[in-house]
Amino acid sequence: MAYILPNLSPTLLQPKDKPSAIVPPLPSVSTSTASPQTKLEPPPPRGVAQVNRTPAARDNKQDERNDFYVNLGFAVRTLREDLPLIFTKDLNYDIYRDDITFRDPLNTFTGIEKYKLIFWALRFHGRILFREISLDVLRIWQPSEYMILIRWNLKGVPRVPWEAKGEFQGTSRYKLDRNGKIYEHKVDNLAFNFPQTLRPAVSVLDLVAACPASPNPTFLWGPVEDSSSSWVEFYRAVKETLDREELVIPQDCLATCS
Task: Let me know if residue 248 belongs to a domain.
Answer: yes
Range of the domain at 99: 59-256
Q: What is the pTM of this model?
A: 0.64
Task: Let me know if residue 201 belongs to a domain.
Answer: yes
Task: Let me know if residue 186 belongs to a domain.
Answer: yes
Task: Let me know if residue 20 belongs to a domain.
Answer: no
Query: How far apart are alpha carbons 151 and 171 in whole angstroms?
Result: 5
**With contact defined as beta carbons under 8 Å apart, do 133 and 159 qualify?**
no
Q: Report the CATH number that the domain containing residue 221 is assigned in CATH.
A: 3.10.450.50
Query: How far apart are alpha carbons 145 and 142 in whole angstroms?
Result: 7
Question: In the chain, how many domains are there?
Answer: 1
Sheet arrangement for strand 147-158 = 108-110, 96-103, 182-193, 166-176, 147-158, 130-144
183-236 pLDDT per residue, tens:
999 998 887 765 544 444 333 334 333 344 444 444 444 444 444 588 888 988
Task: Let me know if residue 2 belongs to a domain.
Answer: no
Task: Let me know if residue 11 belongs to a domain.
Answer: no
Give the count of beta carbons closer than 10 Å to the beta carbon of residue 168. Answer: 18
AA letter at 9:
S
41-59 pLDDT per residue, tens:
666 666 545 555 567 777 7
- The number of C-alpha atoms within 13 Å of 69 and in the hemisphere containing its C-beta is 5
Task: Let me know if residue 235 belongs to a domain.
Answer: yes
Task: Let me know if residue 164 belongs to a domain.
Answer: yes
